[in-house]
Chain A
Amino acid sequence: MSIRSADHGSWLAAQAESAPPVRPAAPLVRFGEVSKAFSSGIAVNRLSLDIFEGEFFALLGPSGCGKTTLLRMLAGLENPDGGRIVLDGKDLAGVPPHRRPTNMMFQSYALFPHLNVENNVAFGLKQDGLSRTEIASRVARMLSLVRLEGYDKRRPHQLSGGERQRVALARSLVKRPRVLLLDEPLAALDKKLRNETQFELVTLQKQLGLTFIIVTHDQQEAMTMADRIGVMRDGRLMQVGPPAEIYECPTSRWIADFVGDVNLIEGQVLAADTGGLLIAAGTAGQLRAAPPLDCKSGDTVWIALRPERVQLSCEQPAASEANCMSGTVHNVAYLGEYSTCHVKLDGGFIMKAKLPNMTRTAEQRIRSADRIWLSWSADAAVVLRR
């Protein structure tokens, strides 16, 4: 799949017809043991990661975890202290940013304030010395792709936040980069526009068949858009996988807590057999869970239970569920599509639960101070060793 040489139109059509991408053996981008330290501390710590052609990859992590630094190193805006960054099988060491086949969309958009929309988008093409007619036609096509026809003569300060965002996107896409790097591209937009733009970005990425790497601190954003997510913390990758895997099978307490809402219950394994684990979980009582591979009696473990997996009922449920216990409703918050409530178990543990509001009167059913039963199956929760 040649992106640089193909004509934009036919290349787009070819992409639309092609079958879903089969992951090739060689990664498009390979970070190998990459490190970077600043005077303020270590930003990226011996990090290795492969990203494949056609992927929408999200680097997710709290601010200061090194995700932007990783992106900037791929763009050539920072030099790694150690390790290798390989793109298309070529080591990028010593290649200056203006010679790299990557383009970046900056968080601040970094639109040139002295140039109009057309010249902002054309800036990169002019550096390549393309003919005027080619530049004009590619800029026009790109502006129509991001729905900015008729905006070509406007200056950045005359645009709304969403329009600026689309100009920045057009400017970074128009050179048909091997990898498009997006640094918090939606952070400056309001919530509604952000949700719309998320889907637009995914559509655009699939339509163009490009590889996108996005940096975000918003897990919902990463889950919505990405094929795979790499969760970063303190300069290291904690877990890499598809969104569902990150959410359903977190490998550590930190991931479980960072991605989505979770009840984390600490306990000791009392008994481990093929049927599952029996765990003494202090104020939460005795719990049953499906075992991870290597657990023996006496181990300290953490049970990660998503609030929406907890069943709530006013009567004692049938004894079929593995975990069943009673408590008092501490508080209820009505949030529209669902309600969240905190239930104080009889042992004292506060459990979070989420109830979908299926009917208009659903929120009437549970009130603060109600006695209530909680239940969940053994495989509803994840047992974590760290």
Chain B
Amino acid sequence: MKGVLPGARIGGARVVMLIPYLWLAFFFLIPFLIVLKISLSQTAIAQPPYTPLLDLGGGWQALKTFAAALSLDNYSLIASDSLYLASYLRSIQIAAVSTLLLLLLGFPLAYGMARAPPRWQPTLFMLVALPFWTSFLIRIYAWINILQRDGLLNQFLLTLHIVDEPPAWLASDTAVYIGMVYSYLPFMVLPLYAALEKMDENLIEAAADLGCPRWKAFWLVTLPLSLPGIIAGVLLSFIPIVGEFVIPDLLGSSQSMMIGQTLWTEFFLNKDWPVASSIAIVLLALLLAPILFYQHVQKHNLTERA
């Protein structure tokens, strides 16, 4: 390969490395800047429904008037109206409870999978991942069918005489939790499984050999060693659940809204793009903390292994 110059090869490698950065710039950074800009604008009855508009042809002067027209009014509105605060708090509360339920349900599931005979593990893995193969929306509609007043769940409970009156499941927090736990279970189970599966069974035996009963070995060895998996599972569930819109909208009550629903209302019903944008920016800022924490842990793990 005498014809290929080393410089050309390095250039090729640079282009390849550039692709993810370009992707992030075009599909994340630029849209984010647009949303940020809209959040600083004022609502207007126009197309698009906000001012000021950036006029790049107007030169320096136009840019100055544009900058002067931007304001933090929308953020002070969000801060002053308790509706938004309640919405954020409700989202975080639902996400926290759902994540806790997911962890309690997901850990034994992942543990069982990791300790199953190796020939069963691919099948079990497939069973956990299988729901991804059908549309998310259809699966939530299926839950409406199960949870409605004359749905499968109530028929089952009535047949077994567990209840005399069919309870209303839909439009309640219970239904939202059921939907959340059902939908996000794979996000919790798979990282936990990955962490538990690579754990050396000898470690538990060594703990027992050194005088540690099995239940205690779980706390002293299994749990600390699966911590990276727990953190990954918790964040992979918690972060998207906070912003979840479809599940609370279809299964929850219309009395109290999660932040995703509030955002949807501002955007589509009130046509208030600037307020909707600032809600999104605040949500992002809230979620940035756990994301940064996750990255820190990941980096820590990488240096540990190196």
Contacts and interface: CB of A to CB of B under 8 A. Distances in A.
Interface of A: 75-77, 96-99, 102-104, 106, 108, 110, 112-114, 123-124, 127-128, 155, 157, 171-172, 175
A168 to B, nearest CB: 9
Contacts of A127: 210-212, 216
Nearest to B203: A110
Given A98-B213, A106-B202, A112-B221, A157 B208 contact: no
Of B210, B213, B216, the most chain A CB neighbours within 10 A belong to B210
A112 B213 CA distance: 16
B212 A110 contact: no
B131 interface: no
Contacts, number: 62
B304 interface: yes
A96 B200 contact: no
A172 B150 CA distance: 63
B109 interface: no
Contacts of A157: 304-305
Interface residues of B, number: 19
A104 B211 contact: no
Interface of B: 200, 202-203, 205-213, 216, 220-221, 224-225, 304-305
B205 A77 contact: yes
A96 B210 CA distance: 11
Contacts of B209: 75-77, 97-98, 102-104, 172
A123 B210 contact: yes
Contacts of A155: 304
Given A114-B224, A127-B211, 14 more contacts: A76-B209, A97-B208, A98-B212, A104-B205, A106-B206, A108-B200, A110-B200, A112-B207, A123-B207, A123-B212, A127-B216, A128-B211, A172-B209, A175-B211
Which 7 residue pairs of A and B lie closest in terms of their CB atoms, listed nearest first?
Answer: A124-B210, A127-B211, A110-B206, A110-B202, A97-B208, A114-B224, A104-B209
Contacts of B216: 127
A103 B210 contact: yes
B223 to A, nearest CB: 10
Contacts of B212: 98, 123-124, 127
Contacts of B200: 108, 110
Given A104-B206, A106-B202, A110-B200, A98 B211 contact: yes
Contacts of A113: 225
A102 B208 CA distance: 11
B25 to A, nearest CB: 37
Given A157-B304, A157-B305, A110 B211 contact: no
7 contacts: A77-B209, A97-B209, A110-B206, A112-B206, A114-B221, A123-B220, A172-B210
Given A106-B205, A110-B202, A112-B203, A96 B225 contact: no
Contact of A124 (B202, B203, B211): B211
Contact of A77 (B208, B211, B224, B225): B208
A76 B304 CA distance: 33
A154 B212 CA distance: 23
A99 B207 CA distance: 12
A75 B206 CA distance: 10
A169 to B, nearest CB: 13
A157 B207 CA distance: 19
